[in-house]
Structure 1
């Protein structure tokens, strides 16, 4: 931590003090420092390998739930604090909020809102993430979670490895835009904003990353939104990968394969009408081609032209598979709008757009065309591109 109290409750901030090491050594000799959260004694560490900071004495427990801080984390907090100060904003570093017993890394107060900024450089549990987020929201504080750049892993071009932990940070602050993840690297003093997130598996996502230097950005412009434009090439490459056979299948893949095998069909020749990145698809961790193929097989391929079904039946059947763990959902506490059933509704709307279904009230759907059967992999790849372009014209 960068902030401690003296025995007289004076605040000592290493980010604000402009003291040389000799002066800090003298201060350490003269004062006893206390943790603002638990009021146990902390030590001022002035080593040469790590950033100067306060630390609890060994084997002491603290009521604050923050993880042990790395030099990377400490340096990032200092840079973000100075960045906000230069903008003439009312910013406090590591304030302990007694009423809610939480200590954000930064607290920024404007004329309209107060923001609790968390710079997270190590993995924490979804339960702790949700607890801290909901506590801020309940107390009229807007939580802004910034992921440490050390947590990002680029797989290929604009494809990043994003696990369920990373998706906790997905947000659409101040807009109704698709989700994005904000990251900061203190080593090169750069924000990395992963925009237009499109999930292609439980661990990989297509994104449009933007890199902005700390000195070229303000808090006001931090969440400016660019109109999304799906990466056609990356998405079609993802569909090609889905069509390649694998030795080890996930539970959801095995489930879908059994449905196809009963009819003598190959899982890897799933309809091109499946695997569409409809709005809110990211609420469902299962890849789109799996849950959409299931929907086509259960609610459309089993019906004749002119037959109808109610969207509630689809939602109920889907949720049954969620409870069984076949179609897991993502936990997205920072997204104010959206849900898995809106993803289902968006997919039904797409099927109406391409002429498979019709509806008058978005509740009852009628089958109006058969879904073409894929003859081989080459034909499937051609059809994938055709269907995806039709989807783009729909947006």
Structure 2
């Protein structure tokens, strides 16, 4: 921690420009105490780590204490000074008693809005993340979670690796139902926005990466980032669909893959020849963690038993899909900060896409009708050609 109380009740912030000799003298003459639990803390003035306060090893605080690396402490200090430049009141590590929370930074803007900045470099459980977030909202504080830049794992210029923990930080980015995640790197003094997040597996995601020097990143971007930097990912997605078709011959696969492989075997078709109409990043597809070619193929096959012009209800499809989720065939992604992250939106988004392809039609808000049969390709070559034609049409219409 960077803030503690002295014997006299004075708050000592290590974000201030202290001389080391002054802190050495203070440490000899005074004791220091946690601002949360009043337990005694040590002032550590090492050469390798950033100066900080720490509880005695056997002490338990009133709030959950996470280990803070030098990277984390440095980022917290930089974010504190950055926020102070353009806001009415900024506090470092204040203790909010009624919710027993101590945000890294608490900001009051000139418009009167209160914002808690949480700079997160270590892993949190989903339960802890949700609890903290909900507590802030309950007392009228908007939480802004920023991930440490050292968590970014780039696999290529447009592909990153995101774990389920990273997805907790995803937020709605714009009107195109796209998501973004914000990072900050104290080493390079840069904010990094991952936008247009298009996951194609449980851990791999297509994205557009935008880097801002700290001094040119407005504070308003924390709550209102609407930069539209959408870039066509047609070629990237075509490569991904090729990978899905080729990788179906490998041995290490998920339960969803094994399940759908058996489904396709009953049709006398290998899974690698899934319909070209499956595997698209349709609106809200990110709600489902299972790769889209699997769950969308299941929806297409769900129609095969229907006769042409036979209606079906969205609710029936959702119930059947939820049954497979409960059986752990398909997996949903945890997105606590994303508005409208319901499974029904992902399914509806795909059905609307099928309507545009005239595979199905829409009778009313909840009822659809089968228009034509979906045909699986007869060869990999035919599959590639179908993928290319459909993707060209899809991206030309700017569906994503």
TM-score range, shorter chain: over 0.9
Summarize the alignment of residues 102-251 of structure 1 with structure 2, pairs less than 5 Å apart: 102-110=101-109, 111-172=111-172, 177-222=177-222, 223-226=225-228, 228-244=230-246, 245-251=249-255
Summarize the alignment of residues 207-356 of structure 1 with structure 2, pairs less than 5 Å apart: 207-222=207-222, 223-226=225-228, 228-244=230-246, 245-298=249-302, 300-356=303-359
Aligned residues: 393
Q: Which runs of no fewer than 5 residues in structure 2 stay unpaired?
A: none
| Root mean square deviation of aligned Cα | 1.5
Pairwise CA distance, 1:7: 3.3
Residues in 1 aligned to 2:143 and 2:320: alpha-carbon distance in whole angstroms: 35
Stretch of structure 1 that moved more, 321-330 or 225-234: 225-234
Summarize the alignment of residues 364-379 of structure 1 with structure 2, pairs less than 5 Å apart: 364-379=367-382
Give the TM-score normalised by structure 2. 0.95
Deviation digits for residues 349-374 of structure 1 (CA, Å, limit 9, x no counterpart): 00000010001313111111111220
Deviation digits for residues 1-39 of structure 1 (CA, Å, limit 9, x no counterpart): 1111123432111102x2210000111112211111221
Matched residue of 1:119: which SS? strand
Give the TM-score normalised by structure 1. 0.96
Change beyond 3 A, Cα 1:196–1:189:
same
| 8 A contact 1:281–1:343 mirrored in 2 | yes
Change beyond 3 A, Cα 1:275–1:13:
same
Residues in 2 aligned to 1:32 and 1:174: alpha-carbon distance in whole angstroms: 50
Residues in 2 aligned to 1:7 and 1:285: alpha-carbon distance in whole angstroms: 53
Q: Which runs of no fewer than 5 residues in structure 1 stay unpaired?
A: none
Stretch of structure 1 that moved more, 226-235 or 115-124: 226-235
Residues in 2 aligned to 1:48 and 1:144: alpha-carbon distance in whole angstroms: 32
| 8 A contact 1:116–1:144 mirrored in 2 | yes
Residues in 1 aligned to 2:69 and 2:345: alpha-carbon distance in whole angstroms: 40
Pairwise CA distance, 1:303: 1.4
Residues in 2 aligned to 1:34 and 1:117: alpha-carbon distance in whole angstroms: 23
- What residue is the counterpart of 2:21 in the other structure? 22
Residues in 1 aligned to 2:186 and 2:64: alpha-carbon distance in whole angstroms: 23
Change beyond 3 A, Cα 1:189–1:175:
farther
